[in-house]
């Protein structure tokens, strides 16, 4: 058992008054680079909350959500979060944000309540008590790059990312993989969060005769980059790979700009499995035909609440009829990022077609 898992169980299994609601602090981006994920992340959290309550809640306690904006520009996040923890208004946190924000959040929280960090991340750099459940570079980026190398043999890679720790660490892993596969890196570029102009980057890609691009841009930046890429006529001519592109961004970039792009993630809305089919049925039943687009990052919030339940209730109960079911693991207990499958997908039109598992076995 990870130290973060043991910490969460110890904190959440303390005696409390049964009548008191169990409130989860939901830290999701509602503005900034990742703001496009806000509606779908909140929808996935609501589905998890409502399902848990329909199963009896936490030993009879109603499950509630308190939403805070976890964007990089949310200046009041620290003070608001500190107040909620100090007054006991939240007992656990589920967090979807970039790792720079998560580090700031962890400093405010200071191990006073469990913190579940849900998206893919570097695999390092967070306190040991933070329970990070997302895909790591060794299981997501590295095998995806190997697949591209074996299938298409690109020789000249261009790396573009936002200027913070996750893209920089991703590129360090990528450079090692590229060289081991007998190719070279023609450029490594970084842009600030919030950048919208990528014409000069695209021109640089063309001038350097890159035949593959690793895109480590988050949220809206990836949309603007791929629109500029398509406008320059490079879609379908230069391969693109991303481990942070998801279905919302694909919709935003437009079908004319998606040719020749591959993505790797632990979840895609188009995954064909019984557990994902049942999950999507419940999602549509709650939110209707105009529900926010399901995607890997937003769905990780659902998995985060599954982990909270696992930590808060005894093992026998979390494997029984009162348990939330992980969509990623296909098992009754919560997902395990060290064993769960990571999939490769091809962007086709306005969707992502699943090609194959890269690691792990589908549940």
State the CATH class of domain 3-135+272-318: alpha beta
**Is pLDDT above 70 for 306?**
yes
- Per-residue pLDDT tens for 225-269? 999 999 999 999 999 999 999 999 999 999 999 999 999 999 999
Contact 262, 344 (CB under 8 A): yes
**Is pLDDT above 50 for 162?**
yes
Which pLDDT belongs to residue 96?
98
The whole-angstrom separation of Cα 208 and Cα 214 is 14
* 132 compared with 313, residue with greater pLDDT: 132
What does DSSP say about strands 115-117 and 22-28: parallel, antiparallel, or unpaired? unpaired
Classify residue 137 by burial, with Cβ atoms within 10 Å: 0-12, 13-18, 19+.
buried
Which pLDDT belongs to residue 17?
60
Per-residue pLDDT band at 314 (split at 50, 70, 90)? low
Which pLDDT belongs to residue 179?
97
Per-residue pLDDT band at 4 (split at 50, 70, 90)? confident
**Is pLDDT above 70 for 72?**
yes
**Is pLDDT above 50 for 128?**
yes
**CATH classification number, 141-267+341-359, choose in 3.10.180.10, 3.40.50.2300, 3.20.20.100, 3.40.390.30:** 3.40.50.2300
What DSSP element (H or E) covers 158?
strand 156-162
Which pLDDT belongs to residue 85?
97
The ranges of the chain annotated as CATH 3.40.50.2300 are 3-135+272-318, 141-267+341-359
Share of residues in the chain with pLDDT > 70 (%)? 93
Average pLDDT, the chain: 92
Among 16, 40, 17, which Cα is nearest to 29's? 40
DSSP conformation letters of 175-243 = HHHHHHTT-EEEEEEEE-TT----HHHHHHHHHTT-SEEEEE--THHHHHHHHHHHHTT-TTTSEEEES
**Is pLDDT above 50 for 316?**
no
- Per-residue pLDDT tens for 88-122? 999 999 999 999 999 999 999 999 999 999 999 99
Structure tokens at 188: 């490594």
Three-state secondary-structure class, residue 355: strand
**Is pLDDT above 60 for 196?**
yes
Which pLDDT belongs to residue 8?
75
- Per-residue pLDDT tens for 323-351? 898 999 855 455 667 788 999 999 999 99
Lookup result for tokens 């933070």: 130
pTM of the model: 0.93
């Amino acid at each position: 058992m990870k130290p973060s898992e043991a910490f969460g169980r110890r904190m959440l299994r303390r005696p409390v008054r049964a009548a008191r609601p169990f409130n989860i602090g939901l830290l999701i981006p509602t503005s900034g680079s990742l703001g496009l994920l806000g509606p779908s992340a909140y929808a996935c959290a609501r589905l998890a909350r409502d399902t848990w309550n329909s199963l009896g809640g936490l030993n009879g306690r109603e499950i509630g959500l308190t939403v805070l904006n976890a964007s990089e520009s949310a200046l009041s996040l620290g003070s608001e979060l500190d107040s909620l923890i100090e007054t006991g208004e939240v007992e656990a946190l589920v967090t979807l944000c970039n790792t720079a924000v998560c580090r700031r959040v962890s400093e405010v929280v200071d191990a006073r309540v469990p913190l579940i960090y849900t998206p893919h991340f570097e695999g390092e750099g967070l306190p040991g008590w933070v329970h990070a459940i997302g895909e790591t570079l060794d299981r997501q980026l590295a095998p995806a790059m190997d697949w591209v190398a074996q299938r298409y043999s690109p020789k000249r890679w261009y790396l573009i990312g936002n200027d913070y720790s996750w893209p920089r660490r991703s590129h360090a892993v990528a450079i090692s993989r590229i060289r081991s596969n007998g190719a070279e890196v023609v450029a490594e570029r970084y842009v600030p969060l919030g950048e919208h102009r990528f014409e000069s980057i695209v021109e640089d890609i063309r001038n350097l005769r890159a035949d593959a691009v690793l895109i480590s841009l988050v949220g809206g930046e990836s949309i603007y980059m791929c629109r500029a890429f398509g406008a320059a006529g490079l879609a379908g001519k230069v391969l693109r790979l991303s481990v942070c592109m998801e279905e919302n961004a694909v919709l935003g970039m437009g079908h004319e700009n998606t040719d020749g792009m591959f993505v790797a993630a632990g979840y895609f809305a188009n995954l064909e499995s019984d557990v994902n089919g049942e999950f999507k049925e419940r999602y549509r039943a709650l939110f209707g035909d105009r529900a926010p687009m399901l995607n890997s990052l937003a769905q990780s919030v659902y998995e985060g609440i599954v982990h909270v339940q696992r930590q808060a209730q005894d093992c026998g109960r979390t494997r029984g009829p009162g348990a939330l079911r992980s969509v990623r693991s296909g098992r009754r207990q919560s997902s395990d990022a060290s064993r769960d499958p990571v999939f490769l997908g091809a962007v086709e039109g306005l969707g992502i077609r699943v090609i194959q598992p890269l690691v792990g076995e589908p549940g």
